[in-house]
């Protein structure tokens, strides 16, 4: 039966799923958002530091210093996370343009232009004469009026994750227009003697004009609020991804494809990462504002409570191969795979055991993340541990990453350790069966070699 499933996967699903994972638009989304991860990770640490006083004794000097300067400490976070989509759109445009063998820099700039044209500045009028007259008698009112900007102002609201889906569409539109002008030769071409950088600038004039007139015509002159429209359309997707069934489905699909050698997490991530980014951005904003953190299923949930040690929560299997293996191959694999697993790198285990196309190890490989996800979900929803508010570097050991991702909640580190123990327990009977099989094969091989010598 397993051979038939394997054959079906290879013939019917492997190639289409591999193509889906490498589809240029999905790859552009993946590359663009992943390119922002260093910004998100580093800026999230400023958020964690700003709220350290919640975890430290109040009489410590460092606690008092951080509390007094929390606003300034959060400024880098606000200038990074609050305009995160601005960075992602450039990366999406750049990646998509390069996939068409177009100039990546021009593609990124055009995508940025199209996105910014969807954000309509608002004109703030100056204070009226009557208000100014009142301010003459009230110093506080006068100071407030002086602090209020006037003229055209652009809100930061849609520069963050709230505008991510519009940013994706804008990037696609801009690059496709760029591609059309290049393919149809509807562009301004310069003589060969002109430097390449100057020639590229002139070639981008036509797509720039088209993008500007199309997007500005819809938003700024036509008065269409595309952010509100797209926001209503994707709201069910975002809220739907923040449910336990969605988390379990994402885990199952990712592990199922991995079991047959297809990078399932790459496929799942390309589709789900925009939702994950939106969820974590809302959480961090709520945490920074001191309000209740609303969402559970942001990406750090998967990283620190489900995929501990890598896809399939294989750190438990790595521990077993290191400490309990009786076969020579298993012992060697444990020594090789354990340390990478501590830092969430499990390719040595997936392809070394192997787990791929292994009917014995595929079962716990799929079951373990599902059980970890269920336990973590209820632990968080019941308030036993804090919700994730930061993206910690993915190569950190699990308990440390869980601690940082939840804003310094020691209970999250404990849960991470308990889930690792659970992983060991789930994998153990399957590991023992597989290790005995390896041992028997080694014994038969040794006996066969000895017989050949005699």
Of the candidates 48, 63, 81, which is a domain's last residue?
81
- As a whole number of angstroms, the distance between CA 124 and CA 142 comes to 17
Give the ranges where 11-128 is alpha helix by DSSP (H): 15-21, 24-35, 37-50, 61-68, 70-81, 84-99, 104-116
* pLDDT classification of 140: cutoffs 50, 70, 90: confident
* pLDDT classification of 453: cutoffs 50, 70, 90: very low
- Top-confidence residue, 145 or 28: 28
> Which pLDDT belongs to residue 415?
96
> Which pLDDT belongs to residue 134?
82
- Top-confidence residue, 228 or 156: 228
Mean of the per-residue pLDDT values for the chain?
85
* pLDDT of 311 over the 50 cut: yes
Candidates 147, 175, 146, 160; CA nearest to 84 is 160
- 278 found inside a domain: yes
> Whole-model pTM?
0.74
Of 52-61, 79-88, 154-163, 305-314, least confident by mean pLDDT is: 52-61
Residue 391 contacts residue 161 (beta carbons within 8 Å): no
Q: How many domains does the chain have?
A: 2
> Beta strands of 106-207 (E only): which ranges?
122-124, 151-153
- 232 found inside a domain: no
- Two structure tokens written together for 72: 């300034």
> Which pLDDT belongs to residue 358?
85
% of the chain beyond a pLDDT of 90: 35
Beta bridge partner(s), residue 123: 152
* pLDDT of 385 over the 80 cut: yes
Beta bridge partner(s), residue 152: 123
Candidates 113, 274, 83, 116; CA nearest to 204 is 113
- As a whole number of angstroms, the distance between CA 333 and CA 49 comes to 39
- Report the alpha-carbon angle 132-150-213, nearest 5: 150
> Which pLDDT belongs to residue 451?
46
- Top-confidence residue, 111 or 189: 111
Beta bridge partner(s), residue 124: 151
Beta bridge partner(s), residue 153: 122
- Top-confidence residue, 311 or 357: 311
- 130 found inside a domain: no
pLDDT, tens only, 195-204: 776 777 777 8
- Top-confidence residue, 58 or 246: 246
* pLDDT classification of 446: cutoffs 50, 70, 90: low
- Between the CA of residue 419 and those of 39, 106, 137, 382, what are the distances in Å? 29, 47, 64, 17
Q: Which helix (H) or strand (E) holds 309?
A: none
Give the ranges where 264-298 is alpha helix by DSSP (H): 264-289
pLDDT, tens only, 328-373: 989 998 998 899 899 888 888 888 888 887 888 989 999 999 999 9
* pLDDT of 185 over the 70 cut: yes
- 161 found inside a domain: no
- 361 found inside a domain: yes
Domain coverage including residue 358: 242-453
- As a whole number of angstroms, the distance between CA 173 and CA 274 comes to 18
- As a whole number of angstroms, the distance between CA 308 and CA 346 comes to 10
SS (H, E, C) 193-253: CCCHHHHHHHHCHHHHHHHHHHHHHHHHHCCCCHHHHHHHHHHHHHHHHCCHHHHHHHHHH
Contacts 24+ apart (CB under 8 A), 126-130: 126/150
pLDDT, tens only, 243-288: 999 999 999 988 887 887 666 676 777 778 888 888 988 898 888 8
Neighbours of 191 (CB within 10 A): 6
Question: Phi, psi at residue 396, to the nearest 5°?
Answer: -75, 150
Of the candidates 27, 48, 81, which is a domain's last residue?
81
In this prediction, residues 221-233 reach a mean pLDDT of 87
- Report the alpha-carbon angle 273-278-283, nearest 5: 125
* pLDDT classification of 8: cutoffs 50, 70, 90: low
- 132 found inside a domain: no
- 4 found inside a domain: no
> Which pLDDT belongs to residue 450?
45
pLDDT, tens only, 386-442: 999 988 888 889 999 999 999 889 999 999 999 999 999 999 999 999 999 888 888
Positive/negative CA dihedral, 179, 180, 184, 185: negative
In this prediction, residues 317-328 reach a mean pLDDT of 92
> Which pLDDT belongs to residue 422?
96
- 112 found inside a domain: no
* pLDDT classification of 454: cutoffs 50, 70, 90: very low
């Amino acid at each position: 039966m397993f051979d038939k499933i394997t054959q079906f996967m290879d013939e019917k699903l492997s190639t289409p799923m591999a193509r889906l994972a490498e589809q240029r638009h999905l790859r552009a989304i993946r590359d663009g958002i992943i390119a922002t991860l260093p910004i998100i990770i580093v800026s999230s640490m400023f958020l964690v530091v700003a709220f350290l006083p919640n975890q430290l004794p109040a009489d410590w000097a460092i606690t008092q210093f951080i509390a007094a300067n929390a606003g300034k400490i959060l400024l880098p976070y606000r200038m990074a996370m609050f305009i995160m989509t601005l960075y992602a759109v450039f990366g999406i445009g750049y990646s998509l343009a390069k996939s068409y063998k177009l100039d990546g820099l021009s593609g990124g700039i055009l995508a940025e232009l199209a996105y910014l044209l969807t954000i309509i500045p608002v004109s703030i009028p100056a204070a009226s004469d009557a208000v100014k007259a009142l301010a003459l008698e009230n110093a506080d009112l006068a100071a407030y009026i002086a602090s209020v900007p006037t003229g055209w102002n652009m809100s930061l609201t849609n520069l963050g994750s709230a505008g991510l889906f519009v940013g994706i569409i804008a990037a696609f539109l801009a690059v496709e227009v760029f591609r059309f002008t290049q393919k149809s030769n509807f562009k301004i071409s310069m003589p060969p003697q002109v430097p390449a950088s100057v020639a590229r600038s002139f070639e981008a004039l036509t797509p720039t004009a088209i993008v500007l007139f199309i997007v500005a015509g819809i938003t700024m002159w036509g008065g269409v609020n595309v952010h509100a429209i797209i926001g209503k359309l994707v709201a069910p997707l975002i809220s739907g991804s923040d449910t336990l069934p969605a988390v379990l489905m994402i885990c199952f699909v990712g592990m199922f494809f991995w079991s047959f050698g297809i990078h399932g997490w790459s496929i799942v991530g390309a589709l789900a990462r925009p939702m994950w980014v939106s969820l974590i951005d809302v959480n961090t904003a709520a945490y920074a504002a001191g309000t209740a953190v609303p969402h559970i299923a942001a990406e750090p949930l998967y990283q620190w409570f489900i995929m501990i040690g890598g896809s399939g929560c294989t750190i438990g299997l790595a521990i077993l191969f290191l400490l309990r293996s009786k076969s020579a191959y298993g012992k060697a694999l444990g020594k090789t795979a354990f340390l990478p697993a501590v830092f969430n790198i499990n390719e040595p285990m997936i392809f070394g055991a192997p787990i791929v196309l292994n009917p014995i190890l595929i079962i716990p490989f799929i079951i373990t993340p599902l059980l970890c996800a269920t336990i973590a979900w209820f632990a968080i929803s019941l308030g036993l541990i804090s919700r994730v508010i930061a993206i910690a570097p993915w190569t950190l050991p699990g308990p440390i990453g869980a601690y940082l991702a939840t804003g310094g909640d020691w209970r999250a580190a404990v849960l991470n350790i308990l889930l690792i123990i659970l992983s060991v327990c789930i994998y153990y009977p399957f590991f023992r069966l597989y290790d005995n099989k390896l041992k028997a094969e080694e014994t038969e091989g040794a006996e066969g070699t000895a017989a050949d010598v005699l």
